[in-house]
Amino acid sequence: MGKDIKDEISSLRDAIKKWDREYYVDSSPTVGDVTYDKALLRLQYLENRYPEYKTLDSPTLKFGSDLLNDFKEVEHSYPILSLEKTYDVKELSLWVEKMSLEGSNLGFDMGISAEPKIDGCSIVLYYKDGILEKALTRGDGRFGNNVIENVRTIKNVPLCIGEQVELVLRGEIYITKKDFLEINHTLDDSYINARNLTSGILRRINSREVVNFPLDIFVYDILYSSLELNTNHDAFDKLNQFGFKLNPCCKFFVVKTWEKILLIM
């Protein structure tokens, strides 16, 4: 009996994870809402009745939990620095020349990736043995608040990546302008911009409230990986395989002059 229940839970969990990826990442769902909802309700029922079989990568966690966030301050494994800015083409040109020179000194052409900056809230995702272990805000760069219960509710954040690897990823959590305007219109105290609204949602105490908001995420940097990844392009291909949502406007190329960067901006 116990083995049958455990096997059913595992089967339901795998099916729902597959459907989530098809819907939220690949935009090509293979099952309808009724089939999905029935499977999810069955999984929730079994996990509530047999809590010993519930795991930290269960898709039911994406719908919030009864645990209240305490937002513990946790030290980052790596310094989380703010992104450097430039408004000057000359500075961009000098930076590209510097990167090209460093690449030449190491014996290869320097590859560059470029993508639009999403104005959201910075987040660092920590995976251990392939399972999301913590999700820290940037904080002061050395310490951040663990908002994992709320981040688990974001549909495009994989709770389990299918391989027992360690990853530390940096991303940006955001709300689209369209959703921001619709939500802001319903609030008694409106927000100035989508970034402030995103920050306010992420810091809500009850994750069951957070699940009602359309938070989204793009992952854009790998701070640590136990995998051997030779290039940024290889790394992003792997992240895509794991089910992470990447910025579709991201471009990779070997460049020696800044003009090519401007062409895609």
Per-residue confidence (pLDDT) for residue 260, from 0 to 100: 60
Beta strands in the chain (DSSP E): 73-75, 111-114, 121-128, 131-137, 143-145, 167-174, 216-225, 251-254
Cβ density class 122-135: b for 16+ within 10 Å, e for less: bbbbbbeebebebb
Split the chain (265 residues) into runs of 10 and give each run's mean pLDDT.
82 87 76 86 86 81 60 86 77 78 71 80 94 91 90 90 90 94 88 90 86 91 84 80 84 63 59
The reported pLDDT for the residue numbered 264 is 56
Using CA atoms, how far apart are residues 204 and 198, in angstroms rounded to an integer? 10
Q: Cα 64–67–73 angle (5° rounding)? A: 105
Same fold, 2-54 and 73-77+116-254: no
Question: Which residue among 18, 72, 98, 117 is the active-site one?
Answer: 117
User: pTM to 2 decimals?
Assistant: 0.74
Q: Which CATH class is domain 73-77+116-254?
A: alpha beta
Ranges assigned E (strand) in 5-120: 73-75, 111-114
- Token pair listed for 47: 């996990």
Q: What is the pLDDT of residue 236?
A: 83
Q: What is the pLDDT of residue 70?
A: 66
Q: What is the pLDDT of residue 136?
A: 94
CATH number for the segment(s) 2-54: 1.10.287.610
What's the DSSP call for residue 25? I
φ, ψ of residue 263 in degrees (nearest 5): -65, -30
The pLDDT value given to residue 23: 76
pLDDT for 25 equals 67
Q: Where are the domains of the chain?
A: 2-54, 73-77+116-254
pLDDT at position 71 is: 78
238 counts as catalytic: no
